[in-house]
Chains A and B, each alone.
Chain A
Amino acid sequence: MALAVLDGGLLTTVQDLGRPGYERYGVPVCGAMDRFALQAANSLVGNHLGEAALEMTVLGPRLRAEHDCLIALAGADLGPRVDERPVAGWRTHRLRRGQMLDFTGPAHGCRGYLAVAGGFAIDPVLGSRSTFLRGRWGGVEGRALQAGDLLRLRDPNPDQPGRAGGAVAPADVPRYVHELTVRVVLGPQDDLFTPAGIDTLLGSVYEVGAESDRMGYRLRGPRVEHRAGADIVSDGVVMGSVQVPGDGQPIIMMADRQTTGGYTKIATVATADLPLLAQCQPGVGRVRFARVTEAVAVELLRDMERRLARLAGPRAYRLYDLATAGGEYAEQE
């Protein structure tokens, strides 16, 4: 069973929930930028929620089903069509052998997810099928999809059939906006900024630079003022860490971020807001920051997990998956 790639689109990569647990070796976590949409797509086709799917950026790929298969689309509306007939997102579709799936262009958001029942027959690297573009390994040969690729599929799990005709209720579909307010918790180096600097961050609008990518979102706007320089002894960063180098322009660390950084970090984006941030299109979107306490950020996370549980039912997987020494990320083959 396979999907043939006739055109790879702008940047289409295989991503799952990443490979946490190897950051002490300098290995980035990678994985889907919008972890909510990835899990929603997987839930629709009856996959393990952390199964690998295609992450499609702005301009989607052109694919041909080499066999009958069940797919689901979630995340950004990139203008999906089956045999040139528009189809809806946040639902499943049966593709018959020979049918084409392509995308006419983004309407809302910038990252779409395509899950296939059963997942892809790709060997995991360090426990994950996520693509590490910078290292050129993981996923499909560590690169974006291109014409001529053949994506072999694994057999769907007969005990967890996807809901053919299944869809996410409209009330549960996230709304993507051009100007997004992200909630942040201050720290760890907020004490290395002046009060004016913190006010600037929390009171300004920033453009998401066109060069923003899976490593980080580079923001343009009013300079955030440091007390005494932007350099620190390098330490760990998380997805959502807001670094501010000497030029005062914030950079939000994203999925492919390096594991350590030597610039002051003023705040961290609440995990629940990361999926929305990932849908803010580089060169188009704008971001504002709103300060929240850790307690509020935890409630936002709890709320998001409840929404995911509603979509997925009792098989709900955690939105934020940890790698304990034993490994919580269990795969179903």
Chain B
Amino acid sequence: MLYDEPRFLSAGECALVVEFGDSVSREANAKAVALAGALRDLSPAGVGEAVPSYRSVLVHYDPLRVGREALILRLQALLAEGLADRPVEPRRREIPTAYGGELGPDLASVAELVGLPEAEVVRLHAEQVYTVYMIGFLPGFPYLGLVPERIAVPRLEAPRLKVPAGSVAITGRQTGVYPVESPGGWRVIGRTPAPLFNPRRDPPTYLGPGDQVRFVPISAERFAELAGLPEAELWP
């Protein structure tokens, strides 16, 4: 539910949370991403990073340079100006993905759970344009929404100890990509050869909050070809 007015919550004396809603929603997320972007562009004195998440922004600040009340007034003014609502042309990204087989070991079980052929699950997943709601859990791990209801499935009962890097996975209405090998409980339906995170680049992630993302189905052979390419070809 989107709040009529955003809530300003304390996260200690050096950060505050601007909360737009109490659940996952496109509107709350759009406001959060827009406010974080606006603060980044303005770079007000004494204000540090603004970190957007599903329905809120965590704003770091130096209380010895700017008081909490003054900051809240400043943020309210920004929101009143409609800065947070000003449509910003989102960045568009594609994720080439080889679905099923060894690269997507959970595709078969997902198809069975939802009562559809595998090819149909793939089609439904790939035809959606997703918004990056936020990046968290791991550097570069994108939380993308919303997966079509028809293929929404719960997490694995027992998480895997090792999900390979590049794995494309779903849980409920969210889909994501594991940038590095990691434990994980989401269902893995495919894999991408595209690198998602490189700490030697700045910014270090291929995706950012607010990006519009499509998964583009490719064959296992094409996956192998792309996996051998230098990073700059997949992430210019």
User: Do these two chains really belong together in a complex?
Assistant: yes
Q: A residues bordering B, Cβ < 8 Å? A: 20-28, 125-126, 132, 135, 137-138, 185-189, 233-238, 240-241, 258-260, 265, 268-271, 294, 297-298, 301-302, 305, 318, 320, 322-326
Give chain B nearest CB distance to A64 CB in angstroms.
31
Cβ contact within 8 Å between B62 and A188: no
| Interface flag for B127 (CB, 8 Å) | no
B41-75 CB contact bits vs A (8 Å, 1 = yes)? 10101111111111111101111100010000000
A238 engages B60 (CB within 8 Å): yes
Cross-chain contact A187 with B13 (CB below 8 angstroms): no
CA gap between A285 and B111 in the complex, in Å: 51
> Which of B15-23, B112-120, B214-222, B228-236 is the interface stretch?
B15-23
10 contacts between A and B (CB under 8 A): A24-B51, A25-B197, A27-B199, A135-B139, A236-B15, A236-B17, A258-B137, A301-B64, A305-B64, A322-B62
Question: Which residues on the B side are within 8 Å of A265 (C-beta)?
Answer: 11
The one of B11, B13, B54, B68 that contacts A234, using a Cβ cutoff of 8 Å: B54
Question: Beta-carbon contacts of B2-21 to A below 8 Å, as 1s and 0s?
Answer: 00000001111111010100
Interface stretch of the complex, out of B83-91, B99-107, B187-195, B204-212: B204-212
- Taking CB atoms, residues of chain B closer than 8 Å to A25 are 135, 139-140, 197, 203-205, 208
Least Cβ distance of A254 to chain B in Å?
14
Whether B49 pairs with A24 at a CB distance below 8 angstroms is yes
Q: Which residues of chain B from 129 to 153 have any CB-CB distance to chain A below 8 Å in the complex?
A: 134-141, 143
- Please state if B22 and A233 are interface contacts (CB–CB under 8 Å): yes
CB neighbours (8 Å) of B143 from chain A are 234
Q: How far is the CA of A21 from the CA of B36 in the complex (A)?
A: 12
10 cross-chain pairs, A with B, having the tightest CB-CB distances, nearest first: A236-B58, A268-B12, A322-B48, A260-B136, A188-B9, A187-B10, A297-B13, A325-B43, A235-B53, A26-B135
**Residues from chain B with Cβ under 8 Å of A132 in the complex:** 199
Q: How distant is the Cα of A52 from the Cα of B135 in the complex, in angstroms?
A: 28
In this complex, the member of B23, B43, B136, B204 whose beta carbon has the largest number of chain A beta carbons within 10 angstroms is: B136
A25-B139, A26-B135, A260-B53 known; A233-B23 Cβ under 8 A = yes
Chain A nearest CB from B211 CB (Å) reads 12
Interface of B is mostly: loop
Q: How far is the CB of A261 from chain B (nearest CB, A)?
A: 8
Kindly state whether residue B202 has any CB partner on chain A within 8 Å. Answer: yes
Q: How far is the CB of B87 from chain A (nearest CB, A)?
A: 20
Shortest CB-to-CB span from B202 to chain A, Å, is 6
Pick from B9, B46, B135, B202: contact of A24, CB below 8 A: B135
Smallest CB separation, A6 vs chain B (Å)? 30
Alpha-carbon separation in the docked complex, A156 to B120 (Å): 64
Q: How far is the CB of B39 from chain A (nearest CB, A)?
A: 9
Beta-carbon contact of B64 and A22 below 8 Å: no
With contact pairs A258-B137, A260-B134 given, residues A126 and B48 touching in the complex (Cβ less than 8 Å): no
Q: Does B165 contact A (CB under 8 A)?
A: no
- Residues of B in contact (CB 8 Å), total 55
B180 at the interface (CB under 8 A from A): yes
- Is B79 engaged at the interface, CB distance under 8 Å to the other chain? no
Known: A185-B13, A236-B17, A238-B60. A137 touches B199 (CB 8 A): yes
In angstroms, Cα B55 to Cα A260, docked, is: 12
Cross-chain contact B134 with A234 (CB below 8 angstroms): yes
A23 and B48 alpha carbons, distance in the complex (Å): 11
CA A323 to CA B36, docked complex, whole Å: 14
Most chain B beta carbons < 10 A, residue from A233, A234, A240: A233
Question: B136 contacts A259, CB within 8 Å?
Answer: yes
State the CA gap A324–B60 with chains docked (Å): 9
Q: Determine the chain A residues whose CB is within 8 A of the CB of B10 once the complex forms.
A: 185-188, 268, 294
B11→A236 contact, CB < 8 A: yes
List 19 additional A-B contacts (Cβ < 8 Å) besides A186-B10, A238-B58: A21-B48, A24-B49, A24-B135, A26-B135, A26-B138, A26-B140, A26-B205, A27-B204, A233-B55, A235-B19, A236-B51, A237-B11, A238-B15, A238-B60, A259-B135, A297-B13, A298-B64, A323-B49, A324-B48
| Cβ-defined partner of A235 (8 Å) among B13, B55, B140 | B55
Q: Using Cβ atoms and an 8 Å threshold, which residues of chain B touch A325?
A: 40-41, 43
Q: Determine how close the nearest CB of chain A comes to the CB of B33; give it in whole angstroms.
A: 9
A259 in contact with B51 (CB, 8 Å): yes
B24 within 8 Å of A (CB atoms): yes
What separation, in Å, do the CA atoms of A322 and B48 have in the docked complex? 5
Q: Shortest distance in angstroms between A60's beta carbon and chain B's nearest beta carbon?
A: 28
Query: Considering the chains assembled together, what is the distance between the CA atoms of A320 and B63 in angstroms?
Result: 10
Report if A271-B13 is in contact (Cβ < 8 Å); known contacts: A260-B134, A294-B68.
Answer: yes
Among B23, B51, B68: residue with most chain A CB under 10 A: B51
Choice from A21, A26, A185, A268 contacting B141 with Cβ under 8 Å: A26
A24 to B205, alpha carbons, bound, how many Å?
A: 10
In the complex, which residue of chain A has the Cβ closest to the Cβ of B142? A26
Q: Please, which residue of chain A has its CB at the minimum distance from the CB of B10? A: A187
Contact A26 B139 (CB under 8 A): yes
Query: B49 contacts which of A28, A126, A258, A322 (Cβ < 8 Å)?
Result: A322
Q: CB < 8 Å: which of A28, A241, A318 contacts B11? A: A241
Closest Cβ of chain A to B177, distance in Å, is 12
Whether the pair A322, B61 counts as a contact (CB closer than 8 A) is: yes
